[in-house]
Structure 1
Amino acid sequence: MSVILIVEDEMIVRLVAEMTIRGQGHQTLSAGDVDEALSLLRSPQQIDALFTDIYLKTLPLGGCALAHQAIELRPDLRVLYTTGNAATDQMKSLFVESAHFLPKPYSDDQLRDSIQVLLAA
């Protein structure tokens, strides 16, 4: 079983993502902002993947900055970004290497498929 850290500032979206990912048999951790996520990433807790919104209310493009810090802390971490905004080439240039992207709105099936591909990479 993999452990997925979900970083999403919209509580309802975060809860739905948690239920969907848990439905695949994975464990989830969740954070509503970058600071909370970094606290979890600095802990000894197993974390195999990061699923983060790019735009977080407390820090625009915070998901991109978070992913870079997360990779520094955990080099083998897999990253899946999401956003409801258009992912421009300029934005994608901020992504960590080998990251995956899932545009919002996404269905449960799309999230399940993206998590499966992410963990298989």
Structure 2
Amino acid sequence: MTVLLVDDEELLRDLVQETLEEADFKVVSAASGEAGLKALAESDQSVQALLTDIDLGRERLSGWDVARAARRARPGLPVIYMTGASGNDWATMGVAGSILLSKPFVLRHLLATLALLLHTPSPGTA
């Protein structure tokens, strides 16, 4: 299974990518929302889940924006948000059926959450 990972923090992105790869996920990694959406468009439907930070630094797109655009392109795509401070907006800004992980989180918890989301029908799927 392939996961699109979008995070502007290189150390965290590398750590999460390594964890996912050790769990036999293929990872497409992006340092910005724009790069993430470009990678999604070029992935030829191989990306099966989105894991995105919400606050992508000085980027034009936030993780909220990335997830909404990803869901428009691929209805039902599983989405996990990661955040250190923006979780209060999840109910109003997050896409339906998404999950929010507050930083810092245990990497085992991320893997369990991803497995659960990948095996649960998402809104927008029939």
Partner of 2:33: 34
Q: Is the 8 A contact 2:80 2:99 kept in 1?
A: yes
What is the CA deviation profile of residues 80-121 of structure 1, one whole-angstrom value per residue up to 9, with x for unaligned ones?
A: 001011511x34311001001111001121111111111111
Instruction: Give the whole-Å Cα distance in 1 for the aligned partners of 2:26 and 2:108.
Output: 18
Contact kept, 8 Å, 1:52 with 1:63, in 2: the verdict is yes
User: Which residue of structure 1 aligns with residue 54 of structure 2?
Assistant: 54
Deviation at 1:60, TM superposition (A): 7.2
How large is the Cα RMSD of the aligned pairs?
Answer: 1.5
Closer, same or farther: CA 60–40 of 1 in aligned 2, 3 Å:
closer
Amino acid at match of 1:30: S
Superposition TM-score, scaled by structure 2 size: 0.88
Between Structure 1 and Structure 2, how many residues are aligned?
A: 119
Structure 1 gaps of 5+ residues are none
Q: Which moved more, 1:60-69 or 1:70-79?
A: 60-69
Q: Distance in 1 between matches of 2:111 and 2:79?
A: 14
Which segments of structure 1 move beyond 2 Å, counting only runs of 4 or more?
Answer: 58-61
Ranges in structure 2 where 5+ consecutive residues have no aligned partner: 121-126
Q: Which residue of 1 aligns with 2:115?
A: 116
Q: 94-103 or 107-116: which moved more?
A: 107-116
Q: TM-score, normalised by structure 1?
A: 0.91
Q: Does the CA-based 8 Å contact 1:4-1:27 persist in structure 2?
A: yes
Q: Equivalent residue for 2:96?
A: 97
Deviations 1:23-42 (A, max 9, x none): 11111100000110111111
